[in-house]
Structure 1
Amino acid sequence: MASTTNMTVPWEEPDWSSAPAWKLPGWAEPVMVASILIGSMVLTRRRGYRIFARRDYNILADDFDSARSSDDLLARDFMMGRDDDSIDSMSTMKNPPKKRRCCGTAVYTPNTSRFADYYHSRILQRFPFLIEMFYWIITYAFYRSTALLSNAIFSKTKIWDIAQDHALSILEFEQYSWLSFLWPVREREVQQWFMHGHQTFLTVLNRSYALIHIPGTVGFIAWYYYAAPSFNTFARVRRTMTLTNLFAFIIFIFYPCMPPRFLPQEYGFLDSVGHNNAQSVWMSGKYVNSLAAMPSMHFGYSFCIGCTLVYHSGIFRRTLEPGEQRKSKPWAIFYILLGIAYPCWILVTIVATANHYFLDACVATLVATAAFFCNKVFFVLIPLEDLLLWCLRLEKPIPTTGYALRR
């Protein structure tokens, strides 16, 4: 590869003439996310179900299954593979155990249906979206730990220098490798175009980068929990996005990478988000991994969301799911255009604000694609989920996704 000196440019302080973005108070973004979650919890509540009226299951009878897992593919078939004596003995049990398949082995876990009348279980039955909030809190906790783990691994070396070397290697690969034709325009050129004559637009992108990632993704998850034609479809999207996260977290830990905005000045990048005073509260703090440019989760999320919106339009599906109706052409076109425009907007945003490289977005696309084909790996965690619910004395809620369509 070429020397990194070939990538430096004469640098001078840019003439920043646009007005700074309006700085949100520190509490605004958490309140925004909390409002989305609480609103979604209310919107997706089980109607007609009363928390303080025991055994008041005012839901579709064919939906109720005390051993229901997070996916209908994992049905309770505890009778299979048992001899006659075992079947007879289990058939007399009030709460027979659940049979799960884990790594090709049958695993029997406690049946939590006996806790269905506990008040905290009934709260979950009334507001089933709470369980989705719990899943994403766990995922966010894993992200917060990536900076600590990465620093621990590279404690004997200078992680900042390693991250800078990785960043420069990415620039060299994009500009001088045999795949350089994939990136005819360089990241620096994109930012400079906005810096000269289009700074107001760059201010909009700065605010987009800060606000869209967390509130936008949370809003999408909340909306699709309600709008998906079935819970299986929603769960497949949720598992894909979660596995995309985990794949990316592993890369963050073992391959720290400096975003362009942190490179030395001679490489020509400017931290426009910081310069424009548009930072997000989610981008600060000692647990935030600022050396996690590769891959770009901003683009990884937007790619998953875009593909889901295209699928939701129904245009490329010959048959629809049970209970789903064909959308009108204006709505179908709207979902198609939004599914294409959203990832494109995020790609322009992450590059123009010098937060990611083009290669970050490419790798994020590959990671999200791999996560889609491997998302059922989470089924191995179902027995652990059963045990956790048993310890908490909770019965897992029945999802309301698709209920409006069936009704």
Structure 2
Amino acid sequence: MRRPRWWVELILIAVVYAAYSAGRLLARGDAGAAVDHGLAILRFEERLAIDFEHPLNRLFTATAALGIPADFAYASLHYLVTPAVLVWLFRRRPARYLAARTWLMTSTLLGLVGFALLPTCPPRLLAAGHGFTDTMAHFSAYGWWGGEASAPRGLGGFTNQYAAMPSLHVGWALWCGVMLWRYGRSPLLRALGVAYPLLTLLVVMGTANHYFLDAVAGAAVMGAGLLLTPRVRRIADRIFGGESSRNSPPVSGGWETSAGERIPGQRSAPTAADDTAADDTADSSAAPTR
């Protein structure tokens, strides 16, 4: 299998992320409706006794040794770990990269639909009587952010603070965890694949940036994106030619032609074992010589 061109992937990811960021800003919604949605989620959780964000936020607010690292994690890991896992897949698991990238992008765009349809006030922006503290504002002297989410000071106007439902912090972390668990070869990578989504879940609730049900919705969005990924890839292949047009066009009976061939040759179709071998080959070629 031919490795995707890195510069094409970089442009594609940049375009999708720019469209997502712009759409997120446009999907701000009405502040009153966002507060109503947030309160409805909180009351529903309280009836079911699943409002885990309340005790976690009190703990993170009272304990700076937890609250400050959690604020740094919320403000940075979302934008560092996900690209790092994408690069790792691109370099070390090229046979898996395209499907993984499509899953992430499809789910992200689904999340944008959620922001537009259900603008939601996060716990930290509810009235003080509901018992939440914005830990990022509380500990803002220790970081680069101010009192408006994780944006750098003075740039809060460029963020949509009512984009709480679904939580893509949790969704992206879950994607990273699945990739590390499924394709990591070392126990450390697999352990990180389990720990990172769980850590993100605690952080988004403890900092009062998301309700527990926001996290559940983030996981559901990732599940929907996974189900839609094969269809999205087929549509992309039809529109852009895709991966299939760069590989040998099949001819009946397993006979295929390659670039530069006039007469087809007999070759077997690639299998899952071939994909694994391709990954192993990529690993061995990337390994340093002694």
Partner of 2:124: 261
Partner of 1:190: 56
Bigger CA radius of gyration: 1
Partner of 2:89: 224
What TM-score comes out, normalization by structure 1 length? 0.55
What TM-score comes out, normalization by structure 2 length? 0.75
Partner of 1:200: 65
Q: Contact (CA 8 Å) 1:282, 1:288: kept in 2 or not?
A: no
Measured in 2, the distance between the counterparts of 1:292 and 1:337 equals 30
1:382 and 2:237 matched? yes
Measured in 2, the distance between the counterparts of 1:275 and 1:164 equals 21
Measured in 2, the distance between the counterparts of 1:309 and 1:130 equals 24
Structure 2 unpaired stretches of 5+? 243-277, 286-290
Shift of 1:142: 2.0
Q: Contact (CA 8 Å) 2:115, 2:165: kept in 1 or not?
A: yes
Partner of 2:10: 133
Q: Contact (CA 8 Å) 1:145, 1:287: kept in 2 or not?
A: no
Q: Tell me: CA distance 1:282–1:298, structure 2 relative to 1, closer, same or farther (3 Å).
A: farther
Which digits, 9 at most, give the CA deviation of each residue in 1:79-138, with x for residues without a partner? xxxxxxxxxxxxxxxxxxxxxxxxxxxxxxxxxxxxxxxxxxxxxxxxx22222112212
Higher relative contact order (CA 8 A, sep 6+): 1
1:167 and 2:167 matched? no
Question: Which structure has more helix as a fraction of its residues?
Answer: 2
Q: Tell me: CA distance 1:273–1:221, structure 2 relative to 1, closer, same or farther (3 Å).
A: same
Partner of 1:302: 173
Q: Contact (CA 8 Å) 1:167, 1:258: kept in 2 or not?
A: yes
Shift of 1:353: 0.5
Measured in 1, the distance between the counterparts of 2:86 and 2:54 equals 33
Q: Contact (CA 8 Å) 2:181, 2:193: kept in 1 or not?
A: yes
Shift of 1:253: 0.9
Shift of 1:310: 1.2
Q: Aligned ranges for residues 307-346 of structure 1 at < 5 Å?
A: 307-313=178-184, 327=185, 331=186, 333-346=187-200
Q: Tell me: CA distance 1:282–1:304, structure 2 relative to 1, closer, same or farther (3 Å).
A: farther
Q: Tell me: CA distance 1:282–1:225, structure 2 relative to 1, closer, same or farther (3 Å).
A: farther
Shift of 1:364: 0.9
Aligned positions, number: 240
Measured in 2, the distance between the counterparts of 1:271 and 1:195 equals 8
Which digits, 9 at most, give the CA deviation of each residue in 1:42-99, with x for residues without a partner? xxxxxxxxxxxxxxxxxxxxx56xxx9x7xxxxxxxxxxxxxxxxxxxxxxxxxxxxx
Bigger Cα displacement from structure 2, 282-291 vs 336-345:
282-291
Which digits, 9 at most, give the CA deviation of each residue in 1:386-406, with x for residues without a partner? 59xxxxxxxxxxxxx846347
Partner of 1:364: 218
Partner of 2:108: 245
* Cα root mean square deviation, aligned: 2.4
1:210 and 2:80 matched? no
Measured in 2, the distance between the counterparts of 1:276 and 1:206 equals 8
Q: Contact (CA 8 Å) 1:208, 1:349: kept in 2 or not?
A: yes
SS at match of 2:23: helix
Shift of 1:221: 1.0
Q: Contact (CA 8 Å) 1:146, 1:289: kept in 2 or not?
A: no
Q: Contact (CA 8 Å) 2:123, 2:211: kept in 1 or not?
A: yes
The equivalent position to 1:270 in structure 2, one of 118, 133, 136, is 133
Q: Aligned ranges for residues 68-107 of structure 1 at < 5 Å?
A: none
Measured in 1, the distance between the counterparts of 2:161 and 2:13 equals 20
Structure 1 unpaired stretches of 5+? 1-62, 71-127, 314-326, 388-400
Specify the code of the residue in structure 2 equivalent to 1:385.
Answer: F
Shift of 1:285: 4.8
